[in-house]
Amino acid sequence: MKKNLFFALVVMGFSGIIAQILLLRELLITFYGNELTIGIILANWLVLEAFGCFFLGKMVERLKRPLQGFVILQIVFSLSLPLAIYLTRILKEVIGVAAGEGLGLIPMLYSSFLILLPVSISHGALFTFGCKIYSLYFKQDATSIGRVYIYETLGTIAGGIAFNYLLIPYFHSFQIALGVALINLIIGVFLLTPFWRNIQLSPKILTIVSFIFLLLTGFLTFSQGADKIHWLSIRSQWKNQDVLHYQNSIYGNVVVTKRGEQYTFFSDGIPVVTTPTPDITFVEEFVHLPLLAHPGPEKVLILSGGAGGVIGEVLKHPSVERIDYVELDPLILKIVKIFPTPLTESELNNPKVNIEYIDGRIFIKKSPDKYDLVLLGLSNPSDLQVNRLFTQEFFFLAKERLKGEGILVISLPGSLTYLSEELKNLNACIIKTLKSVFPYLQIIPGDSTNLFLASTSKEISLINHLQFSQRLKERKLEVNLLTSDHIEYKLHSRWLNWFLKSLEGGTERINQDFRPLGVFFSLTYWNALFSPQMKGLFRWFERVNLLFLFILFFIITLVFLLIREKVKRLFKMSIPLCITTTGFAGMIFDLALIFTFQALYGYVFHWIGLLVTAFMVGIAVGAIAMNSLLSRIKEDLAFFIKIELAIVLFSGILPVIFLLFNPYLDRPILFFLLQIVFLVLSCLSGLLIGAQFPLANKIYLGSSPNLSRTAGLLYSADLLGGWVSGIFGGVVLLPVLGLLGSCMVVVMLKLSSLIIVAASARRRI
Amino acid sequence: MSILKKFSKTSILFLLGAVLVLIVVWIWQGGFRDLEVQPQEEEQNEPTTSETPQDMKEAMFYQELFGNWVQCQLCFRKCTIAEGGHGVCRARTNRKGTLYSLVYSMPSAIHIDPIEKEPQLHKLPGTDILCIGTVGCNFQCQHCHNWHLSQASPGELRTYYLPPEKVVELAIKENIPTISYTYNEPTVCYEYLYEVAVLAKEKGIGIIWHSNGAMNPEPLRELLKYTDGVTIDLKGFTEKAYKNSSAELDPVLRTLKIIKEEEIWLEIVNLVIPTINDEEEDIRRMCEWIKKNLGYDIPLHFSRFSPAYKLTNLPPTPIETLEKAYDIAKKVGLQYVTIGNVPGHKYNSTFCPECGMRLIYRIHFQVLENNILDGKCKFCGYEISGMWK
């Protein structure tokens, strides 16, 4: 039985992480993937888990047979996971939104909440039920919560690794979800079998029910059923479009649709390549204006977005000898090759074209070559990962890779009609950043895309439309759109004058690795599009600063200290409060470490996985160590406060390490060493967070001996903290306050909870 | 500090260390500089608004109802507006039983563009137009390219102050033969447009406007008296297509018929959006309707969609679809059909319906060749409908 229970708890963690990643990926295909939507989905997941853990979990005390409750929860979880995936795919049809329409903030909030509801709540409650059952079998109260926490974490680590390396490349979502359901149902049956000898009827009925679902799930998994559901839901998700291909990679999802003779390749639901005819206006202006601005481009680097038009246009210039084309996910080009068109074939098979599957930031850092042009094919820094190609640090790297007359080309959303506040700030921020690195900048405003040509050569700012037209003739380009008239129109001074005038009053701040403001302005722009009613809120976020937060925390702490004598219950809340702030800190650490790593080393999927795993291992080790120490600790609270202090110290030191090392990263030994430091820090941050949890349980149980209430309360407090930083961490805190500022927020928050817990302790003693 | 005496000295050291680190790091990073950042001077950037009655223009078409309620009579929606309320377009408000325009003389966009961008392809090819746009719209198209203007409210955006006489003066000063009301829906700034049109007519400047065509007959006929040319966005030929714009088809068809009746030059744009309005059968019915009700010589432009505003998850229109639509329109018997937003496409140009020669060689908005002489085909002498002088 004990072995069964151990497996059940590990499987709980295993299933939880798989369900979480699976639904996140599925929802992102339906939604528009950016830092905010990722945050919202994760936050909804956490808050629902917390709810299940606390409110549903509390019910276990009233149950006569908690084990059966556990199995029922497993059944609910198992059945709702595939259902949630199905609902995600038919969501737009259900809420009456056209398949091609993006969703705004509000529909995303409530639809992801409703879809995740049964899955996350049942999973959250499983934790509390698990704790209760575990304590019933092992007759230990304080350590059993810790043990369950450890087993769950171990399952989470295993699930994360299995999902990315064993499941995603080979199975579709329904197969994975049904597989998870299958494991859970089998465990359920095993958990129930010991009770068959009892006279009661209920375990038997429950076993039979489990068994029926088990058979059903098994049948669907191993017959064509899963495939049928898969395709049925995809047809609804891509309504009225002929879906030819659907595939996942570790990075995301790729779908190909056909309409007439046209293939469209979608990456996470957004069309990225259209063959045989691309958006001619975009590709011709994006490629030829910069290439014509250069007297004789030979070596060109394209970072993302090259296939399906851009490379083809670059190749038209007779002087071009070599194109390095960098794309992170090999899957999209692999699929483009499956549906060949003359254009893409000539692009991808041309001997001048060299394709590298690597993160653009790594490539530009490691490549020894110098280029005449660097074209950045991503046009909006809408998440932390993409924003790394729009920061000051990146522009410095790009500058080093440019030859004397070399040009860096980037594009941003624009309008030739009206520049809204949001567009203004986004453009102003990146222009300011470019100007801080490059002495010369040529801006070409456009109807939906603004082009920015940055160079260290003065020529870029002097060139006029006559020279463009001259070179157009000399190079004998066969183009569709560009004529000398069109170039004259595009470069007419009235557009630039209007653009610069509209830009007045825009932000003065620049986009940096450690303060990725570009993400914030990009999200603000996106929000204005879908939820104009929330524009004001974002403008307010822009002005958030440390002083404001400091005063806020100060007042909260003060108010607490003042009313503590009056309200007795508040004392008890000090421990959960600490756990909430720790949950907040944990999420910020995790986010900060991953995002800093990406900025310094580029996006390497396995390394990111390793960092997350190190964090989770840290949590597990911390919890294990603390659990075994629990009986030997005499002054629980003093120890608890020491851990609190350690977390405060850690969040103070964390950014300092990066800021200290950053200037010396060019030295190979340090470059290598810091990677190890990253792993150690990830593990350490997990360790601190993991160690606190069992101790908090022990302390809290001391004053209220209700085990499942304690487990539920503290675990949900932890998740709640994660929820707050999930929504605000990547959207407001990191981008607006920067790495250092965010860690300072953690310091202030932790200090305030520390003071509160210390003050409460004094009263108790 | 009495709280901390309960705990060991190491705790205090820890705490002091943490605070020290905090302070050092903060100062190092210029934390205090951050704190000194003054709140931005809002006043300067605050867009000018016309919310005070003396700046506002009374609406020309509305009915007073009981108890200070009014009903706007300008477009098909006929909004009933309570005191202090706005119409669906957000550009009109009811103050004490009087309906006012909030965008009169307050454009948010003023630009010079080729007339081909409008598109008005049969009116003075290759000339410039003075484009004026205000704020608000009575439709909510999910693919709107000018959503910054059309889906905003007056007061939210930066505006210029440009009364009607100044608009006409500007056109004369810049030597531009035509003024165009475009970008957002011109219906919502009716009074502004109307007065500019009356003045322009006096000064010999042309007036065109690009509309979704949902104005009511009475204001429409009044405005057409001073209008030279109209471009109507026909967003499809089904209610489903109009649902994507939260609007209705019938009022638009009525408008088209009235413009024809009043003998004002008319061109139609049809943006073909995959899965929304690209059914061949619907396109055929639309072309037949145009031929029957408006005539075979009405220019019809099929335009390629590319993802915009909220319609971000759709593919661009396949060229094949546009060419099929072109073939259908030609087969039905429409004489002047073009394909837009596919630069370099053969049918971006206009061809003579009689001899098949290329009349106007066009790439996107640029005219490279014009073979129309005195309104006739240079090659065969066939009379080409349009306004060529």
Indicate yes or no: CB of B310 within 8 angstroms of CB of A257: no
Phi, psi of A525 (to 5 degrees): -65, -45
Reduce the DSSP state of residue A243 to 3 states and report it.
strand
CB-CB: which of B6, B40, B147 is closest to A762? B6
Q: If residue A427 lies in a helix (H) or strand (E), which one and from where to where?
A: helix A421-435
Q: Could B26 and A744 be called an inter-chain contact, meaning their C-beta atoms sit closer than 8 Å?
A: yes
Digit-coded pLDDT (tens) for B132-151:
999 999 999 999 999 999 99
Q: How distant is the Cα of B228 from the closest Cα of chain A, in angstroms? A: 23
pLDDT in tens, A352-407: 999 999 999 999 988 999 999 999 999 899 988 999 999 999 999 999 999 999 99
- Chain B residues whose CB is inside 8 A of the A749 CB are none
Contact yes or no for A546 and B275 at CB 8 A:
no
* Most B CBs within 10 Å, among A266, A531, A540, A645, to test the B interface: A645
Chain B residues close to A636, C-beta within 8 Å = none
Q: Which residues contact A437 (CB under 8 A, 6 or more apart)?
A: A392, A395, A396, A399, A454
The counts of H helices and E strands in chain A are 30, 11
What's the CA gap between A128 and A61, in Å, rounded? 10
Annotate B216-231 with b (16+ C-beta within 10 A) or e (fewer).
beebbebbbebbbbbb
* Residue of A400, A324, A737, A292 whose CA lies nearest to A541: A737
Mutate to test the interface with B, among A266, A274, A277 (most CBs of B within 10 A): A277
Measured between CB atoms, which of B11, B275, B365 is closest to A99? B275
Q: Which of A140-144, A282-286, A681-685, A753-757 has the lowest mean pLDDT?
A: A140-144
For residues A227 and A35, which has the higher predicted lDDT (pLDDT)? Answer: A227
C-beta separation of A722 from A586 below 8 A:
yes
Residue of chain A nearest B364, judged by CA positions: A481
Closest partner residue to A259 among B2, B34, B318, by Cβ? B318
Picking from A275, A280, A649 by the largest number of B CB atoms within 10 A of its own CB, the best residue to mutate is A280
CB under 8 Å to A274, separation ≥6 — which residues?
Answer: A262, A263, A264, A265, A308, B315, B316
ipTM: 0.90
Task: Please give the model's pTM, rounded to 2 decimal places.
Answer: 0.91
Contact yes or no for A729/A588 (Cβ under 8 A)? yes
Whole-number Å distance between alpha carbons of A489 and A696? 68
* pLDDT exceeds 80 at position A3: yes
C-alpha separations of A506 from A428, A536, B214 in Å: 6, 16, 37
Please give the residue of chain A at the shortest CA–CA distance from B148: A420
Side-chain-facing half-sphere of B140: CA atoms under 13 Å: 13
Query: Number of H helices and number of E strands within chain B?
Result: 12, 19
Residue partners of A593: CB distance under 8 A and separation at least 6: A611, A615, A654, A678, A681, A682, A685
Helix H, strand E, coil C: the string for A523-575 is HHHHHHHHCHHHHHHHHHHHCCCHHHHHHHHHHHHHHHHHHCCCCCHHHHHHH
Residue of B nearest to A638 (CA): B7
% of residues, chain B, pLDDT over 90: 84
User: Which of A611, A729, A723 is closest to A45 using CA atoms?
Assistant: A723
Q: Please give the span between the terminal C-alpha atoms of chain A, in angstroms, as a whole number.
A: 41
Q: What is the mean pLDDT of chain B?
A: 89
Q: Which of A101, A447, A738 sits opposite B313 (nearest CB)?
A: A101
Write out chain A residues lying below 8 Å of B14, CB-based. Answer: 642, 645-646, 648-649
Q: For B336-350, how does the pLDDT look when each residue is reduced to its tens digit (9 = 90+)?
A: 999 999 999 999 999
Q: CA-CA distance, A399 to A555, in Å (whole number)?
A: 47
Q: For B3, which of A261, A271, A759 is closest by C-beta distance?
A: A759
Cβ–Cβ below 8 Å for A264 and B316: yes
Name which of A577, A560, A566, A585 is nearest A759 in CA terms.
A560
**Pairs of residues, one from chain A and one from chain B, whose beta carbons lie less than 8 Å apart:** 205
Task: Give the total residue count for chain B.
Answer: 389
Residue burial A327-357, b: 16+ Cβ < 10 Å; e: rest: bbbebbbebbeeeebebbeebbeeeebebbe
Query: For residue range B96-131, what is the model confidence (pLDDT) as tens digits?
Result: 999 999 999 999 999 999 999 999 999 999 999 999
In angstroms, the first-to-last Cα distance of chain B is: 90
What are the chain B neighbours of A483 within 8 Å (beta carbons)?
Answer: 363, 366, 368
**Which of the 8 DSSP states describes residue A505?**
T
- Is there a contact between B308 and A653 if contact means CB atoms under 8 Å apart? no
With CA atoms as reference, the chain B residue closest to A747 would be: B22
CB atoms < 10 A from the CB of A195, how many? 17
Distance between CA B211 and CA B239 in Å, rounded? 18
Residue B50 has pLDDT above 50, yes or no: no
Cβ-based neighbours of A576, under 8 Å, separated by 6 or more: A696, A700, A713, A714, A717
Residue of chain A whose alpha carbon sits nearest to that of B305 = A279
